Amino acid sequence: MDIKNIDRMSFSEINDYISSIKTEIFSDNLDFEQLADVCSLLQEDNRKNVQSLGEKTLRFIDKQKNEILRVTNMYEFDKSFGNYKFIAGVDEVGRGPLAGPIVSAAVILDYSAINSRDIILGINDSKKLSSNVRKELACIIKDKALAYSISAIDHNMIDSNGIAWCNNEVFKIAIRNLKVAPELVLSDGYPIKNFNIKNVHVIKGDTKSASIACASIIAKVYRDELMKEYGNMFENYNFAGNAGYGTEEHIRAIKEFGPCKIHRMSFLKNII
């Protein structure tokens, strides 16, 4: 289709054309400058809806450019700690809930070539993403990562050893289970104790580090799915909705039905 003959095209045809090239925005044959040239043609058209489409597409370009810059900076942040080939990011989810395990994930990304086609756009603190976006990103992360692992420590160990010990231990297990041995480990929030690999802890790391953000996402997706399964087993507590966290509904259920087998009894002292 020749977009230069825009005056002969219906709005529907133009819209379909723009939609198709948006999906190819990172291909070798199309760049933002080409798409911006198309937008100029749209804005010169006499039809208001075509002009509006051109303006909307320009906003799309700006948004995509900003996202590429944001995520590229996250990759560069990881690389800023030194000339390491294998850098692992590790994060946890489930430190605060009243029930279920604490889960950690470790991810090693490919930093050999940082460009718009290879970086994983959309990565961020998992709590800032919708459930559907997290699931989509988790699949992409697992496909593109050089290595990843997911580990969990259950409620019994949390009650026996305390959440701080379990948080540290679940980080270590996730790192040990990686198929590629990291030379540097970036951990979210906390330094890893009794650990023999170089470690840098990063405050709010899931918004700064690409590898930590990826770990945050796959850990949360894994734990949320696990809590949905527990929700089917223990129907009174709506684990699918609250993931074990202490919502008002969850606390009322504990008071009415008592704790179930996956509750952390050490977390319920002020409730029952």
DSSP string, 41-92: HHHHSS-HHHHHHHHHHHHHHHHHHHHHHHHHHHHHHHHTT-S-S-EEEEEE
Binding-site members for a divalent metal cation are: 91-92, 188
* Cα gap 219→272, rounded to integer Å: 30
Closest CA to 213 of 104, 88, 125, 103: 125
CATH classification at residue 176 = 3.30.420.10
**Do 150 and 218 belong together in one domain?**
yes
Question: Is residue 106 assigned to a domain?
Answer: yes
Q: How many domains does the chain have?
A: 2
Binding residues: 91-92, 188
- Cα 166 to Cα 234: distance, rounded to the nearest angstrom: 24
Read off the pLDDT of residues 69-116 as tens digits, 9 standing for 90 and up.
Answer: 999 999 999 999 999 999 999 999 999 999 999 999 999 999 987 877
* Segment 224-248, tens digit of pLDDT: 999 999 999 999 999 999 999 999 9
Tell me: do 173 and 256 sit in the same domain.
Answer: yes
Of 27, 57, 79, which closes a domain? Answer: 79
pLDDT attached to residue 221: 98
Going by pLDDT thresholds of 50, 70 and 90, the confidence category of residue 29 is very low
Q: Which of 60, 79, 98 is the last residue of a domain?
A: 79
